[in-house]
Amino acid sequence: MNVSSLAYFKRYRMERDLEALPAVPGLPLGYGWQSWSPMILDLHADVKYRSFREEMDVEIFPSLGHRVGCQELMHNIVTRWEFVPEATWLIVGPDGPCATIQGLREGCYGSIQNVGVVPECRGKGLGAALVLKALHGFRRSGMTHARLEVTSMNALALRLYQRLGFRATRILYKPTHKIHRDEALIS
């Protein structure tokens, strides 16, 4: 018998100021930046889907596990007045689009949304380059600080953000409906 119960994921809010930003590192050979345009909404959505579909964050944000859900998420982000195109980037590699990031303005904070690199392109520095590119975009757009949220068990992402100067400022608990198989209830 399947029993649905409420579980919680621990998440960190992380922040850093936008002074003394390291330069955006060069991308590996064959990879290039594509700036935001509404014409490439579906490309961002597709990369977001491929980056997140196997990841634990799907349990908290189920839309990330579906192509249509990612298209809706992208649409919701880019139609908000807080949307920051200067902090929204796609990386295109030899095999096509492979990494995505979006930015929103929250007062003097730039808020990073859903950094994603497709599994076959990880470990090449694209994640670090994306975050730094967004941070420079926030600063150019007049913001003084940046923030993001990360699931505490997402060790790779957590380490990446710490390496880029982010520090945890708050602990958050996000609910997720998990299905547990409870053998004791089978009769």
| Least spacing, CB of residue 156 vs ligand COA, in Å | 5
115 or 183: CB nearest ligand COA: 115
| Least spacing, CB of residue 132 vs ligand COA, in Å | 10
Q: Which residues bind ligand COA (CB under 6 A)?
A: 51-52, 55, 57, 115-117, 122-128, 150, 154, 156-157, 159-160, 163
Please give the helix or strand (H or E) that residue 113 lies within, else none: strand 109-117
65 or 125: CB nearest ligand COA: 125
Reference 169, options 27, 17, 54; nearest CA is 17
51 or 102: CB nearest ligand COA: 51
Look at phi and psi of residue 6 and say left if phi exceeds 0, alpha if psi is from -120 to 50, else beta.
beta
Q: Centre a 10 Å sphere on the Cβ of residue 182 and count the other Cβ atoms it contains.
A: 11
73 or 126: CB nearest ligand COA: 126
* Residue 156 near residue 115 (C-beta atoms within 8 A): no
| Least spacing, CB of residue 97 vs ligand COA, in Å | 13
The structure tokens listed for 60 are 């908290």
